[in-house]
Each structure stands twice: as structure tokens, then as C-alpha cells.
Amino acid sequence: MTGVLVVAVLIASVVLHELAHAWVADREGDDTARRQGRITLNPISHLDPIGSVLVPLVLFTSTGGGSVFGWARPVPIVPSRFRDPVWSDIKVSLAGVAANLLLVPVAALVAIVAFRLEPLLGVAVADGLVLAAGLAIQINLTLALFNLLPIPPLDGSHVVYHLLPRKARPAYRSFGRYGILALMVLLLLVPGALDVVFTPVAFLTDLTHAFIRLWI
């Protein structure tokens, strides 16, 4: 049951992540995502069967629930349509990360309300909400920090791209064709390769839980 809840929370989180990309891109002048039906909360429009379901379940099971992340289908972007080729690209890239980070305090608030209203909601409902909120905190922190890695085509790479000398940009961007594959190989060959993400996620999760305990 927990595995199903993990996938449900992850799906909601990656959908909002991609929706944020699509919405900001539309605001910045590129309506490609809108024309392809990506400015929607309908998960079918965003999900990737492997990245949104299979990988999260395998990772959650193999780590005993200690770590989970995944991804959705990338939002189609045509940078040449942006009003500002640099700042628009950066805003669109960081919009998904911002959406995930905003979901963390929302989840914390849900947990606090569930704790306080347990007599009204009942133990089963309150415990379910607290569990979902806890998963949302961990998953959204993981998505935010994972996507900030400077590995093309992850969101953080777009910021790094615009900071690089112009001569270095084409080679860096071309690595995007192999970036995710290289990351998967790294994960298989180097245990703990993603500790650079999971360690701060664990710290920030504990910090958020400590904040919640102050209000219950």
C-alpha cells in the first residue's frame, strides 16, 4: 500500500513540476507546450511509464523506502520563441524546481492540520494524510535537488549552460543526448553516487519534520 502511495505522490509531484515548466514557458512567449496540451493537471499528458512508475517503485523497494525519485516526459520547449533567450530559459528551467520546493511547506501544513484534527478526522484518515505529507516532503525535496544537478538535460544544466563561455556551450549541450544514460550507468557502477542529493534531502527532511513537531 505504501508503494502505491509513493507512486501516487510522485506522479502528482512530477506533473506539477512539468506543468510549472509549461506554464512559465507559455508566459515567456513559447506556446509550444500549450498547443501540445501540456498545460494541464491530467497526468496522462505528462507521465513516462519508466521514469514515473517503474524506476520509483524499484528504487523505493531496493532502498527499503529510503530513497525515491523519478521523472516525467520533458515539456517541449522552443527557446527561439522566448522573449529573452537567456533569462526566459533560466526561468522556465527553474520553474519546476520552484514548484517542488513550494510543495514542501504545503505538505508540512497538511501534516500539521492532520495531527491537530485527528479527533475530527479519525485515526485512519489522519495517519494517511500524515504519511502522504511525509512522502511529499521527501519526494519533492529529492526532485528539486536532483533536477538542480548540472547534468544535461536536467534543469540545473540550463543555468550552467548560460554561465559557460560561448565556445564551451555546444559540447556541453550535446552531452544532453547521453546525460541520463550516463547517470544511470553511474548509479549502477558507483554505489552512493547520488549521496550528493540524498544526504541534503535527508537533512532538509529532518529539518522539516522538526518544524512540524513544533506545531503539533
Instruction: Say if CB 212 and CB 108 are below 8 A apart.
Output: yes
The whole domain housing 53 covers 2-214
The answer to pTM > 0.85 is: yes
Question: Domain tally for the chain?
Answer: 1
**Is 96 exposed, middle or buried (CB count within 10 Å of its CB: 0-12, 13-18, 19+)?**
buried
Structure confidence at residue 63 (pLDDT): 66
Task: Please give the DSSP secondary-structure letter assigned to residue 48.
Answer: -
Q: Is the per-residue pLDDT at 150 higher than 70?
A: yes
The span from the CA of 11 to the CA of 5, in Å, is 10
Quickly state the pLDDT bin for 82 (edges 50, 70, 90): very high
Whether the CA torsion 140, 197, 22, 37 is positive or negative: it is negative
- H or E segment at 172? helix 169-174
pLDDT at 55 over 80: no
- Dist CA 91 CA 96 (whole Å): 9
In this predicted structure, what is the pLDDT of residue 67?
A: 64
Going by pLDDT thresholds of 50, 70 and 90, the confidence category of residue 125 is: very high
Active site residues: 18
Range of weakest confidence among 113-117, 180-184, 209-213: 180-184
Predicted confidence at residue 191, as pLDDT, reads: 75
